[in-house]
Structures are given as structure tokens and as C-alpha cells.
Structure 1
Amino acid sequence: MIRRITAAKGVALATVLGLGLAACASSSEGSPSEEGSANGASADPLKIGTILPVTGTLSFLGPPEIAGVGLAVADINEAGGVLGNTVSVEAGDSGDTTDLSVARGTATDLIGKGVSAVIGAASSGVSLAVVDQFAEAGVMEVSPANTATDLSGYGEYFARTAPPDTVQGAALGAQILDDGHTKVGFLVQNEAYGNGLRDNIEKTIEAGGAEAVYGAQGAGEEFAPGETNFGAQVTALLAQKPDAIAIVAFEETVAIINELAAQGWSFNGSTYFVDGNLSNYGDQFDPGTLEGVQGTLPGAQSGDDFRNRLKEWSTANDNGELNDFSYAAESYDATILVALAAVRGGATDGETISKNIRAVSGSEDGAVEVTSFADGVKALEDGKEIAYKGQSGIGPLDENNDPSSAFIGIYKYGADNNYTYVKSVEGKP
């Protein structure tokens, strides 16, 4: 179910996250830091910031992403920290694109607190608003959820553990074609994420012989982020007699579904969601409303052990009971990659992390595969190059700092308006 966390609770959660991580951290001596110190780079304790959605239209993604970062830092500190020091977290709210002052204020705050890297944002539009601010301060930004193609190769201080929209768009477009649809309507929010993902879905269906009958690229039929009244859009869409509808939106999806239902649309087997609105809605709709709806979510299907550990961390750190796990694995992996990059470079500043993050993801020849922070540190100390293969299943970062390969999960809703895993497809940008 989509949940909106109030601003007051968001501040409390940010405070608890920072304190909770510090409380559960442990420190040990012995990790090499001499190389970084010799080069004049920072070997101070690594401080990571988060710019994740505590409030706004993507707030349902906040808890799993926060848990992913928190669990990763707990694992890092249990393994001895980075370069012999405990890793700490400064937590912040990204808000959404309806009020970018939230994200910009958080970026200013995190930079002022001396973070070397930030995990976030969830929204591509938010990242596009703050990525230059972080880069100018020498802070490495690693997003676990940004998919906009505008961010591919954006700069040396931006990377992501989620694949660009070329991959998810192709996967969802192929699913729509496989289901036999030929006339597809789009309801798309007008910003980088919505437009980019729609463009790639549309490209795929058109290559397969289908057509976009509403909301196509260039038609000017997108809606503003935060829109609540969809009567006119749904009426205009249904007048084109589509046999499928793809909804590329965030929390606006609730109002869209209600309007589609009111105007008699049959959802079963003809409606498609994306990562921005794939959520367990439960009793937010009448039973059976979403039955047969399908959606896509980047990332491999995480195992029960990892999910249970996320749940335990979330409950123990006042992050609530996890019902969704969207981008938790990508958040975990982003944090581990940042820490391993600091270890490889022998320093904890943003420039060092930027210069080493591709290498620890597996870009170097002869890299040995590792699946945990502890194993990665051991291999690096033994003089080996490493390829961190984490929970999300992505391939090494490419020259654009995008995953060179990634899995896209296909999910389907049942009569309880909750989704279950169907299958995964692997793709490349």
C-alpha cells in the first residue's frame, strides 16, 4: 500500500537512522590507509549521506531503500568498517519533483556535514536537480533507483545501481506485445523519468507492430507530477479504444486507477505498471480491482534471507514494518560499492570513491568475484582486483557508470491487490 510519511515523522526517522547506525557500529584496526594518506587524500572515517524519499509521491520507496543502506552499513561495520574506522550515515529527505527545494536543502545540509558520498535520489528528476550541486562539492552520488536516460554518463560523480530506462522499457514493451496488444494508451507524468520510460516502451511496441494511441511521445498529453484529477485524461484516452494501458507515474496512480474504474475500464490483462508505481495496494482498492495487472521492477528477485534481514533491521531501527522491497537490494549494493571503492583507493573522499567505484564493480581485467564487503576487502588486501556481485544482480558499471547488465522482474497482481513475482528477464542498456 502506498504510504505517505509526514514531514515530522521524516525528521524523526532521519535522526533515528543516523543514531541507530552509529549505535550498532563496531570498529577495528588494521585496514590499510597509508596509500590514501600518502597521496594527500582523506582517510577520515567514511560518512555517507542519504537523499531518499521520506515525504512526497515516492515516499513508499523510502523504507526499503533506507533499510538497504542501513543493513549495508551494519554489515560493513561488523566486518571492521572502512580503513579501520566505523562508517556513519547522515540521513536526509529527497521529497519529490513537486517541490525541489526539499532535495536542494537536503543536498546543502549533507555537504555541510562533510559526507563523501550520498545514496539517492529515488527520482531521476530529483537527481537532475542536485547532481551538479554534489559534484561541485566533490561528493559522489550513487542512485539505487534512477533510470532516466538523461543520467547515463552524466559525470564522474554520478553512478547508479539501477539500469537505465532502455532496459526496463524494452522488457515492459516486450511483455505488452507478448500479451497480444496492438493499441496502447499511456498515462505519463511529465518529467525525465516518465517521459524517458514511456519513450522506450513506445519504441519497443512500435518495433513489434503495435501503436501508441494516446500519450505518445510528442503528443503533449502528459500530466504534471502531483496531479489529482484525471477525469479529462481518462476520457480522452478511452475514446481512442486502447486494448492496453501503461501507467508511468508515482503516487498519482491511486487517483488514476480510481478514475479508470469509474469510467468502466477492465484492468485484468490489459493494464501495466512500472517501478514507480509497483506497490502492494491491498485494501486501498476494492478486492479484485487490480487482479491481472502486470508491472516491471528492475533488479533480481532477492532471497528470503536478505528480505528477512531487511525486515529485522527496519523494525529494530524505527523504519517501520517493510511491506515492499523495491530498490532495497540496489540501495544495499550502492552502499557496499561506495565502501569498497574507498578501500581500494585507500581514502574516503569523494574523488577517491569516484575513481574506484567502477573497478570494484568488476570493470578491471582478471577481477575475482566477491559477494560481500568482507570478502571484497580481503581480496583487495591480497592485491587482487574484485567484481562485487551483490543482491541486485547487476553487471559491472560501464563507461557511463550504468550497470552493464541487469535483471527486470515481471510481477502480477492478485485479487488482494498485491503483486507477486512471475519471472525475470536480463537485458543490457
Structure 2
Amino acid sequence: MIRRSTAARGLALAAVLSLGLTACASSEGGGGDDGEGETTAEPLTIGTILPVTGTLAFLGPPEIAGVGLAIDDINSAGGVLGEDVKVEWGDSGDSTDLSVANSTATDLINKGATAVIGAASSAVSLGVVDTFAEAGVMQISPANTATDLSGYGEFFARTAPPDTVQGAAHGSLILDDGHCKVGFLVQNEAYGTGLRDNVQKAVEAGGCEVVYGGTGQGHEFAPGETNFGAQVTDLLAQKPDAISVIAFEETVAIVNELVSQGWDFDGTTYFCDGNLSNYGDQFDPGTLAGVKGTLPGAQADDSFREELKAWYTENEDGELNDFSYSAESYDAAVLAALAAVKGGATDGETISANIKAVSGADGGTEVTTFEEGVTALEAGDDINYVGKSGIGPLNDKNDPTSAFIGIYAYGKDNTYSYERQIEGKIE
């Protein structure tokens, strides 16, 4: 089992070595994409830059479990090029303090990671993606959805769809529920404004209007904001029939303010992947009853959930109750490992050169596990890895060509449950 040390859960504050010295940590002789290269590579080291602290910390456990379980499965199947995969755990923090992510990025590069899973926040990834690229490290995010990251560069890919997909689904959900005067409470960073813009496009395409918080209206709030009295007052004065909250941990303060000003949440309020969380006793019973939300990714099946829970209990000494982006995290690690196998080397350049191919961009034999993928690659076949998240092959922008968006609803206990999912195509 891959066990995280207590020290790895904190901030990587001591990483001060030069990036120039550590770019050499990648194995030499990086392979091409024909699977014919040398296979005497250094053991693959996968790093994580996932939220242990900050406003997205609730997404950390399922993402960590996804990566950890994937690496256990990879190593149980013989590892990569005959060697066990090593993992280096790191904290991403959030966009309110990018020094956390910057320090972690330096630390992971210094420790020889050639593929990194994360970040969860698009704004955080935008702050470190160039650092990883300059060091030749392949970054694969399981949760970034900002359209700014589409085609960002050869060393960035993601297993979550861009906000064009979730935005269309989120807007359609609001319209399908019969609402036509929509207000937004949205945080002012790449993820928040990008998703809002795409939801707004869907709402307006349906012949309806945004009455507060829309593009160019100047109503966004700063990440980490705690006082929403004035914003909620201004929003409710516009008499919306639906409110979309696009935020992270700030959602707790937003909900409390909406409650204090008499907003009825039932069937009128919508969350997204950044705040779709089980709030339980953080609010009075029934507060969130009838709230709906959207979350990119296929619904994790029962057997996969049990495996994730077992891994988390054994390795983290806790109970896993949220599975957001766990499948995407699992698939990110498997894709990195399969790309290394196909290219015959474990450096970031090789992983970058082969990740599209193993995702199915060139067609090939459909495989659903790392072990099946290795068997097919060793037989000389192209492969199409169809993983836990159900995404389509990566396109020329390193975005998945299709993905599922789950629709969820809250009950009286302020926790959410799955209702249905729709599949969206990426243009």
C-alpha cells in the first residue's frame, strides 16, 4: 500500500533548490511514441498537488484516494517498466495563497516527480503549470475545468471536461426547472468567472435573463470572502427566481446570509462542482432541501466506492464520504503510467508524447485497467483506455472529447444524492 506520511500532509516550505538543477531528475533516453524505446528507465515517480488545506480541502480526500488506489493497482500489476511507482504527496492550498502551491511544485520537482496529479483549483494550476512545464514535468489535473487551460501546453492535460460542458448542463438544469430570471454569486477567479460565463450563455440561449452577477456586471467577490450581506441584499432586490452559487468554501457564509434574508432554497438554488459537498449539521436540518448541483464525471459504481473507502481507511485513518473527482484522479494516474509504458521511459517528455495515444486518440484495443493496457501494449497494439470516469479520448488540446455531468439533489439532512447524468461532447 502507498501510505502518506504525516509530514507530506503539510506545506512543502523547505523546498528552495534551483529548478534548473532538478530538471535532470527525469530519466534519460525519453522514448518516442512507438513503444520501441529502451525500457531501462528510472522508476516512475508521480507527485500530487491536491488540496489538503484551503477552501477546496473537501475535495482532497476523494482525489487522494483515487491516486493512491490507482498506484496500488498499478504496482499490484507489476508496476511501470518492471519497477514500482513511487508517489510524492503534496498540498495545493487554494488561490487565496498561491505560495503553498508554488512551494509544493518546487518540492515535487526536487523529489524527481515526472508526472503530477492536480491541482483541483484551475486558478492554482494556472499559477504552477509553467513551473512544471519548464522542468519537463507532465501535469494532469483531475478537476480543472477552466476554459483558459484548454490547449495550454504539451505538459498539461486533464481528465475533467472544460466548463463549456458543465456550463451548458448547469444552465439547462435551471431552465428545465422553469426558471427564467437568474442571479449569480460567483468568485472572481478563472474557474468562477469561466463557469459563470458558460452558464449564462446557456440561460440566455434559452431566452431567459441574468438579473445579477452576470458577465461584465462587476458583482464578483474575492476568493476567501466571508461577508455577503450587501451582495445578497442587492441580488434579492432584483427578484430572481433562481440563484446559482459558484464558489468554494465561501458557500457556507453565502448560505447563512441567504437564510438570514429569507431566501427559499427549495427548487431555486444551484451548486456546482466547487461547492457540491455534504454539509450535514453545518446548517439546520432542511436548509438545503431541494438544492440541486452539477458535477463533472461519471457516477462512481459501488465496487469502486468500496475500494476507495477501504484505501482511505487504511492509509488515512479516516472515513471517505465524498467521491468527487475520485474517478478522474484514478484515471489521471493510470494514463500517466500507461504513457510511460508505451514510450518505454518515465520522464515527463515521454509521458507527454504518449498520453493522447493511450487515451484512445489513435483508436486501438479498448482496455479498462492498467494491467489490460500493458498486455495490449506489449503485444504491439494501440490502446484506448476507458477508465473509471468514462471520459472520451484526449483531443489536440489535451481535453477529454466527451464526459459525463452528474445531476445531484440535496435532502433534508443537507447531503446530496445522485439523480441522473448526461453525456456532453467537447467541440
Q: Do they fold alike, i.e. is TM over 0.5?
A: yes
Structure 2 counterpart of 1:285: 283
Structure 2 counterpart of 1:133: 131
Residue type of the partner of 2:240?
P
Structure 2 counterpart of 1:401: 398
Structure 2 counterpart of 1:350: 348
| Pairs within 5 Å for 1:24-43 | 43=41
| Pairs within 5 Å for 1:284-323 | 284-318=282-316, 320-323=318-321
Residue type of the partner of 1:273?
F
Shift, 1:13, TM fit = 3.7
| Structure 2 unaligned spans of 5+ | 12-28
Q: Which residue, 397, 407, 410 being the options, matches 1:410?
A: 407
Structure 1 counterpart of 2:326: 328
Contact 1:150 1:192 in 2 (8 A): yes
Calculate percent identity across the aligned residue pairs: 73
SS in 2 for 1:71: helix
Residue type of the partner of 1:385?
D
Structure 2 counterpart of 1:11: 7
Q: Which residue, 358, 377, 384 being the options, matches 1:380?
A: 377
Q: Which residue, 414, 420, 423 being the options, matches 1:423?
A: 420
SS in 1 for 2:117: strand
Q: Which residue, 188, 201, 204 being the options, matches 1:203?
A: 201
2-structure distance, mates of 1:150, 1:319: 37
Shift, 1:34, TM fit = 11
2-structure distance, mates of 1:139, 1:315: 30
Contact 1:47 1:88 in 2 (8 A): yes
2-structure distance, mates of 1:320, 1:355: 38
2-structure distance, mates of 1:35, 1:119: 21
State the number of aligned residues. Answer: 403
1-structure distance, mates of 2:30, 2:131: 30
Structure 2 counterpart of 1:83: 81
2-structure distance, mates of 1:10, 1:199: 40
1:10–1:180 distance in 2 versus 1, CA, 3 Å:
farther
2-structure distance, mates of 1:228, 1:250: 12
TM-score normalised by the chain length of structure 2: 0.92
| Structure 1 unaligned spans of 5+ | 1-8, 16-32
SS in 2 for 1:145: coil
Structure 1 counterpart of 2:118: 120
Structure 2 counterpart of 1:148: 146
Q: Which residue, 250, 258, 261 being the options, matches 1:260?
A: 258
Contact 1:41 1:352 in 2 (8 A): no
Contact 2:182 2:211 in 1 (8 A): yes
Contact 1:161 1:394 in 2 (8 A): yes
Shift, 1:318, TM fit = 1.6
Deviations 1:196-245 (A, max 9, x none): 00000000000001111000000010000000000000000000000000
Residue type of the partner of 1:292?
G
1:289–1:379 distance in 2 versus 1, CA, 3 Å:
same
Question: Is 1:192 the counterpart of 2:190 in the alignment?
Answer: yes
SS in 1 for 2:48: strand
Shift, 1:185, TM fit = 0.3
Moved over 6 A (4+): 33-38
1-structure distance, mates of 2:37, 2:77: 26
Shift, 1:428, TM fit = 1.4
2-structure distance, mates of 1:423, 1:323: 19
Residue type of the partner of 1:356?
N
2-structure distance, mates of 1:267, 1:321: 29
2-structure distance, mates of 1:195, 1:410: 21
Contact 2:30 2:347 in 1 (8 A): no
Structure 2 counterpart of 1:274: 272
1-structure distance, mates of 2:98, 2:185: 23
Superposed CA RMSD in Å reads: 1.7
Question: Is 1:392 the counterpart of 2:389 in the alignment?
Answer: yes
TM-score normalised by the chain length of structure 1: 0.92
| Pairs within 5 Å for 1:206-245 | 206-245=204-243
Structure 1 counterpart of 2:20: none
Deviations 1:312-340 (A, max 9, x none): 00010025211100000000000000000
